[in-house]
Amino acid sequence: MLARRGTFRRPDGPRPMRVALPTVLVLLVACGPTARIDTTEHELEETRIVATRTAGGELEVTGYTAEELFREANGLVRDERCPEAVERFDRIADEFSSSRYVSPALYNAGLCLLHAGSFLEAAERFERLLAELPGSADEKHALLEVAGLDIELERYGQALTAAERLLARDDLNEPEHLEALARRAQALFGLGRLDDADASARSTIAYYRVHQDQLPDEFFAACASFVRAEVIRARAEAITLPEADALTQHEFLERRAQLMLDAQRAYDETIRMTEAYWATAAGYRIGSMYEGLFQLIMTAPTPPPAHDLDPDAMAIYEREFREALAERVRPLVRHAIRYWELTLMMVDRTGAHTAWADRVRADLEHARAILLGPLVPASLEREGSGLDLDPPAAPPTDLTDGARTPAPSGGA
């Protein structure tokens, strides 16, 4: 399962908003609702004329330009009044379709909504910019934002299209190229194209290693590393236990356990990149893999007994089988708990409070409840033997080694 909303957004927030362009000559024209003055000497802004009647019945005429709305909107953004700012930005796009301010207005409206967490509405502004103003100065950055938002909204086909459009451009700098590569890997994983996602994630990491000196941070490299681990985890979790004898089930478990260890190594590589956001996600996934394997084993079909049994004897056989399994796989839950506890230690140390941290806390309580639940009798305190399901690799002593505190969420 692909990580859900809030997973792939950069922790340092959206890109900076566009500032107002140089002031242009504005002439008020009192004829009709709108007017444009063409001149060969100055670049002029269209003026919107509004006529209203006062309470006394007098006609009052006012005018405003796209530039005035734009400056007013940016002031509202600085005052953290996003809804009012977006209303002004939208008016520019709706009322001044030929103005030079339409592109930065749509772009800034999208950023404002993105920062407010209104992902769908933000995507609509960026998509309108791309559709109505191809080739504008904001096209590249709008594409970058759309690719990320489509991942957030789980529109992976659209995210892949946006990423491919970006990678076809020749004006991306190194950080932008890395971001586009990582978005492509995320989109391919979301589409279930595991082989392609793995190849794309590997190429992203390779690009990062070559251009590391030109990149400001490891965020998107860690993102690609996380995708690689997710691919392996998805392959592991596709292995379920069939209705078969114990030996056959054991063979399936061995294959899944080996892939889980491979995934854990990949998640550990993500953690070592010291991006606290993705390290938290990786720590959560490692714990969830072991908790998931516990659930798989505890709900596996009961292998058939060696001899035919009557109903009462069969009930005893099934109960004893489950109790034996609980004893043997209890270390898996303990392993999950240990990883989640270490992950929360990192969260507390770095301040990387994300949706992943919330999931860690919720599943940690669930795992602790499992240890106290009826499937694990209190008498079964000893570590079981038999099926070798306890992973040989011990969890790291501290997930916080070298982790950096992410930059605070950026504002408009």
pLDDT at 296: 83
- Statement: the pTM of the whole predicted model exceeds 0.85: no
Residues linked to residue 275 through DSSP beta bridges, in sequence order? 404
Q: Rounded to the nearest 10 degrees, how much is the dihedral formed by the CA atoms of 269, 195, 145, 360?
A: -50
CA distance 332 to 376: 12
Burial of 41 (0-12, 13-18, 19+ CB in 10 A): exposed
**Which tokens sit at 1?**
């399962």
Q: Where are the domains of the chain?
A: 262-412
Residue 103 contacts residue 136 (beta carbons within 8 Å): yes
pLDDT at 371: 61
Closest CA to 9 of 212, 152, 125, 143: 152
pLDDT at 12: 44
Which run of H or E residues covers position 49?
Answer: strand 47-53
Which stretches of the chain drop beneath a pLDDT of 50? 1-13, 20-42, 376-412
CA distance 103 to 360: 41
pLDDT at 167: 98
Residues linked to residue 44 through DSSP beta bridges, in sequence order? 25
Report the chain's C-alpha Rg in angstroms: 28
Which run of H or E residues covers position 60?
Answer: strand 59-65
Any long-range contacts for 70-76 (C-beta under 8 Å, 24+ apart)? 70/20, 70/101, 70/104, 70/105, 71/20, 73/105, 73/108, 74/17, 74/19, 74/20, 74/108
Helix, strand, coil shares, percent, the chain, to 5? 60, 5, 35
CA distance 119 to 44: 35
Crossing angle between the packed helical segments 246-272 and 276-298, to the nearest 10 degrees? 170
Residue 63 contacts residue 28 (beta carbons within 8 Å): yes
CA distance 408 to 223: 18
CA distance 400 to 275: 10
Query: Which residue is associated with the tokens 């444009």?
Result: 36
Residue 316 to residues 163, 310, 384, Cα–Cα distance (Å): 57, 10, 20
Residues linked to residue 48 through DSSP beta bridges, in sequence order? 34, 64
Q: To the nearest whole number, what is the mean pLDDT of the chain?
A: 78
